[in-house]
Amino acid sequence: MANIIIVGTQWGDEGKGKIVDLLTEDSDLIIRFQGGNNAGHTLMVGDKKVILHLIPSGILHPGKLCIIGSGLVIDPEILIGEIDSLKHKGYKVSPENVAISERAHIIMPYHKIIDHARDSTQGIGTTGRGIGPAYEDKARRIGIRMIDLIHEEIFRKKLDIVFEEKQEYVTKILKLKPLEKEGFVEKFVKMGRKLKPYVTNTTVIIESAIRDGKHLLLEGAQGTNLDLDYGTYPYVTSSNTVAGQSCVGAGIGPTKITRVIGICKAYTTRVGGGPFPTELNNTTGERLRAFGGEYGATTGRPRRCGWLDLVALRHSVRLSGISHLAITKLDVLMGFKKIKVATAYKAGKTSIEHMPADLDVFKKLTPVYDELPGWEEDISSLRRHEDLPRNCKAYISYIEDKLQVKAAIISVGPKREETIVRTKLF
Ligand code: IMP
């Protein structure tokens, strides 16, 4: 038995989807534990592109059980769309291979309206999917959960309780047009009926799988620096993205975890607003964006690009207890004469070794860089670490030394097979 957590070590979009897809081969259960359809995994299966927002990518492999844990906020329309689209592409999706936690919260239409309206002034640059407002209702104890959605009477009753308040907020505070209740209630009741067979107590399924010695893969979304507590607050998402959250969001105890894999892109990207010390607003940044195809899988927004940031990565390794790294998109760095890596920040004469909590500090700091030699060779066809160009190997060793964590996996291209596996994780 091995139970593995996958987390993003940067600001999301590290290429977690591909690594999850790869490790799924050896796992039995794949569990999403936080976030919602703000996440998006782009996967290349052969020459087919599949984008998933809620269902774990394990769905693409026959015989795996995919679980949507209680830590998520679910937009039922997106989930049903995803199920239908997968079926249309020929994948099997049924309650036999997908289970949804009865405790997961629902994203309601008003959550999306509120998210959009607020972000236009707050400037977080959210995905506009209603994630924050849905988590907010969860914490306020007025959220509507999957268990409510599948029971029409309860759903209507709970909605009645919150609706007037939402109406007031939308019309009086946000000064938007009134919400129309009837149209969406019927739609949600229908969606509840459709999703009912999938909704269950997922923790019992997971517990029994652990007892049977099955392998679990716990799939995180976003990245450490978007964590609600430890990210660059308030420019963060509304859930915890660090490894500890996997236990809460999936419903298992920390004693059951074997390894934590931190997914680390060979450079850094960020979408939305907020601090990004190593951001490159120049042709180097543009080149990373173009070569790396750095456009959001969920919103299509161009990603901000910059050099690798060891301050952000040390933060991540510390907070999630990362046992192994998976370095992704290393092929994108091909052809750079010099590759820079931030080892610390500097504000005036003060050296900053750790991620500041104070946003004002970010405004004053500049990164302190080490410079490493680049490589000219295309590495995407290489499958063994020893075959990589010398400078490329040196870049990997440098990251390993600085973080004191070994890189178990190195991804050299978007396809499943474009991967170097140095350590078997299951
Ligand atoms: P929200 O999660 O939609 O509330 O957005 C909050 C912040 O997190 C924004 O800066 C988003 O761009 C960012 N964000 C949310 N999900 C992802 C993701 O999957 N990848 C990268 N950034 C994300």
**Ligand 1 pocket, 271 CB below 6 A?**
yes
The CA 221 to ligand 1 mean position distance, Å, reads 9
Give the number of the atom of ligand 1 that is nearest the alpha carbon of residue 38: 16
pLDDT in tens, 347-382: 999 999 999 999 999 999 999 999 999 999 999 999
Evaluate if residue 205 carries a pLDDT over 80.
Answer: yes
Of 10, 239, 271, 359, the residue with max ligand 1 atoms within 8 A of its CB, to mutate for a pocket test, comes to 271
Give the number of the atom of ligand 1 that is nearest the alpha carbon of residue 127: 3
d(C-alpha 166, C-alpha 117), whole Å: 13
Report the pLDDT value the prediction gives residue 258, as an integer from 0 to 100: 96
Give the number of the atom of ligand 1 that is nearest the alpha carbon of residue 301: 12
**Ligand 1 pocket, 130 CB below 6 A?**
no
Report the pLDDT value the prediction gives residue 50, as an integer from 0 to 100: 81
**Ligand 1 pocket, 224 CB below 6 A?**
no
Q: Where are the alpha helices (DSSP H) in 97-227?
A: 109-122, 131-140, 146-149, 152-168, 181-195, 202-211
Instruction: Please report, rounded to a whole number, the percentage of residues in the chain having pLDDT higher than 90.
Output: 92
**Ligand 1 pocket, 13 CB below 6 A?**
yes
133 cis-preceded (ω within 30 degrees of 0): no
C-alpha dist (Å) from residue 134 to 25, 114, 328: 33, 10, 32
Report the pLDDT value the prediction gives residue 47, as an integer from 0 to 100: 75
The better pLDDT of the pair 300, 193 is held by 193
d(C-alpha 301, C-alpha 281), whole Å: 16
Give the number of the atom of ligand 1 that is nearest the alpha carbon of residue 126: 5
**Ligand 1 pocket, 243 CB below 6 A?**
no
The CA 282 to ligand 1 mean position distance, Å, reads 23
Which of these is catalytic: 13, 21, 115, 148?
13
Report the pLDDT value the prediction gives residue 45, as an integer from 0 to 100: 73
Evaluate if residue 232 carries a pLDDT over 80.
Answer: yes
Evaluate if residue 420 carries a pLDDT over 90.
Answer: yes
Report the pLDDT value the prediction gives residue 69, as an integer from 0 to 100: 98
Average pLDDT over residues 236-247: 98
Contact 13, 272 (CB under 8 A): no
d(C-alpha 301, C-alpha 292), whole Å: 14
Give the number of the atom of ligand 1 that is nearest the alpha carbon of residue 273: 10
Domain 106-195 listed as CATH 1.10.10.60: no
Domain 264-421 listed as CATH 3.40.50.2300: no
The CA 353 to ligand 1 mean position distance, Å, reads 25
E-strand stretches of 316-365: 324-328, 338-347, 350-352
Evaluate if residue 48 carries a pLDDT over 80.
Answer: no
The CA 392 to ligand 1 mean position distance, Å, reads 31
Contact 61, 248 (CB under 8 A): no
Report the pLDDT value the prediction gives residue 319, as an integer from 0 to 100: 98
Determine whether 370 is an active site residue.
Answer: no
The CA 329 to ligand 1 mean position distance, Å, reads 20
**Ligand 1 pocket, 237 CB below 6 A?**
yes
Determine whether 13 is an active site residue.
Answer: yes
Contact 312, 14 (CB under 8 A): no
Q: Could you tell me where in the chain the CATH 3.40.440.10 domains are found?
A: 3-101+199-259
d(C-alpha 96, C-alpha 109), whole Å: 29
Report the pLDDT value the prediction gives residue 365, as an integer from 0 to 100: 96
The pairing of strands 338-347 and 366-373 is: antiparallel
Contact 101, 67 (CB under 8 A): yes
C-alpha dist (Å) from residue 425 to 28, 227, 382, 404: 14, 25, 20, 18
Neighbours of 68 (CB within 10 A): 26
Evaluate if residue 46 carries a pLDDT over 90.
Answer: no
d(C-alpha 407, C-alpha 155), whole Å: 47
Element (H, E) at 286: helix 283-292
**Ligand 1 pocket, 9 CB below 6 A?**
no
List the helix and strand counts (H, then E) for the chain.
13, 20
- pLDDT bracket for residue 16 (50, 70, 90): very high
Which of these is catalytic: 41, 53, 111, 315?
41
Q: Could you tell me where in the chain the CATH 3.90.170.10 domains are found?
A: 264-421
Report the pLDDT value the prediction gives residue 41, as an integer from 0 to 100: 81
**Ligand 1 pocket, 125 CB below 6 A?**
yes
The CA 22 to ligand 1 mean position distance, Å, reads 24
Give the number of the atom of ligand 1 that is nearest the alpha carbon of residue 226: 8
Lowest mean pLDDT across 16-30, 46-60, 135-149, 305-319: 46-60
Rounded to two decimals, what is the model's pTM?
A: 0.96
Neighbours of 158 (CB within 10 A): 18
Vertex 233 angle, CA 228 and 236, to 5°: 55
pLDDT in tens, 285-296: 999 999 999 998
Report the pLDDT value the prediction gives residue 72, as an integer from 0 to 100: 98
Q: Could you tell me where in the chain the CATH 1.10.300.10 domains are found?
A: 106-195
Report the pLDDT value the prediction gives residue 389, as an integer from 0 to 100: 98
Of 114, 124, 127, the residue with max ligand 1 atoms within 8 A of its CB, to mutate for a pocket test, comes to 127
What's the CATH fold of domain 3-101+199-259? Answer: Adenylosuccinate Synthetase; Chain A, domain 1 (3.40.440)
